[in-house]
């Protein structure tokens, strides 16, 4: 077992454990921390699969952006400080059934599926290629993503601003 595949196993185990942990913990803040663990482990997995750019984005955007947002959300929406935000579970039986079934079916089908053998290998310098292709083949989604971000930012501001308004 090479060092790289050992690292892959460790990252994957960490990510899986963190995901299951989110399911089990009852404190939302703990869940958010576990999500960080899961996301960072996944970033490690991405690096091993030669997707360095995705990994960097994953850490910067998710850990830096989404999680800060979530933690903000937890802090702003929990009752008076000091009490942790604890959630109870509902529909435990049907949900576990759905979860186990979907995982089981997916794993079984994945193991039977011969995935298309894609010819060729990744380009030597993926980061460079990524930059070029982003401005060439993917220029349309790239532009749309820009508009999407603009709309989401204004939208979040509009939606949350009424939080501070005195009316209603």
Partner 1 sequence: MEHTLILSSILFAAGLMTVIVKRNAIMVLIGIELMLNAANLNLVFFNRNNPALSGHFFALFVIVVAVCEAAVGLAIVLRVYKYYQTSIPDQLTELKD
Partner 2 sequence: MGLYYTMPELILAGGIILIVLIGFFLRNKTTNLHGLLTLAIFTASVGYAIFAWSFYKTPMMLFGNMIRTDQFSAYFRILADVAAGLTVLMALRNKSLAEKFNSEFYTFLTGAVLGSHLLMMSTNLVMVFISLELLSISSYILAGYSFNKKGAEGSLKYFLFGSAASAIMLYGFSILFGITGTLEFTSENFTNNLSVNQSMLVVVAAIMAFAGFLYKIAAAPMHVWSPDVYEGSPMPVIAFLSVVPKLAGIVVLTKMAMAFAVTTVPFDWQLVLAIIAMLSIGIGNLSALWQNNAKRMMAYSSIAQSGFLLIGVVCLTPQSMQAFLFYSALYLAANYVVFISLQAFEKNSINSIPSFGGAGRSFLFLSIVLLGGLISLSGIPPTGGFTSKLFVFASLWASYEQTGKSILLWLLLFGLLNTVISLFYYLKIPYYAFLKTPESSLLPENTSFENFLAFLLVVGVLFFFIRPDFLMGWLNTINFVL
Residue ranges that bind partner 2, judged by CB under 8 A? 105-106, 109-110, 112-116, 118, 136-141, 143-145, 147-148, 150-152, 154-155, 158-159, 162, 167-168
Contacts to partner 1 from residues 101-160, by CB under 8 A: 102-103, 106-107, 110-111, 115, 117-123, 126, 129-130, 133-134, 137-138, 141, 145, 148-149, 151-153, 155-157, 159-160
User: Binding partner 1 by CB under 8 A: which of 92, 114, 125, 136?
Assistant: 92
C-alpha angle 72-77-81 in degrees, rounded to nearest 5: 90
Are 28 and 54 in contact, with CB atoms under 8 Å apart? no
Point out which residues pair with 86 in neighbouring strands: 27
Are 8 and 46 in contact, with CB atoms under 8 Å apart? no
> Residue 162 interacts with partner 1 (CB under 8 A)?
yes
Task: Give which of 39, 44, 49 is closest to 19, Cα–Cα.
Answer: 39
Q: How far is the CB of 155 from partner 1 (least distance, A)?
A: 5
Cβ partners under 8 Å of residue 125, min gap 6: none
Q: How far is the CB of 87 from partner 1 (least distance, A)?
A: 4
Q: How many residues bind partner 1 (CB under 8 A)?
A: 86
Cβ partners under 8 Å of residue 19, min gap 6: 34, 38
Q: Which is nearer to partner 2, 68 or 101 (CB)?
A: 101
């Amino acid at each position: 077992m090479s060092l790289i595949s050992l690292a892959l196993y460790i990252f994957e185990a960490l990510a899986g454990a963190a995901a299951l942990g989110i399911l089990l913990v009852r404190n939302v803040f703990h869940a958010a921390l576990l999500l960080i663990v899961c996301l960072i482990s996944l970033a490690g997995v991405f690096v091993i699969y030669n997707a360095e750019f995705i990994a960097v984005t994953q850490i910067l955007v998710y850990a830096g952006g989404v999680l800060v947002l979530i933690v903000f959300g937890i802090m702003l929406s929990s009752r008076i400080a000091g009490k942790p935000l604890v959630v109870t579970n509902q529909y435990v039986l049907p949900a576990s059934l759905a979860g186990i079934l979907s995982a089981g079916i997916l794993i079984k089908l994945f193991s039977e599926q011969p995935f298309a053998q894609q010819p060729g290998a990744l380009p030597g310098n993926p980061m460079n290629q990524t930059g070029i292709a982003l401005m060439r083949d993917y220029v349309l989604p790239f532009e749309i993503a820009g508009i999407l971000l603009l709309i989401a930012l204004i939208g979040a501001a509009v939606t949350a601003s009424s939080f501070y308004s005195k009316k209603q």
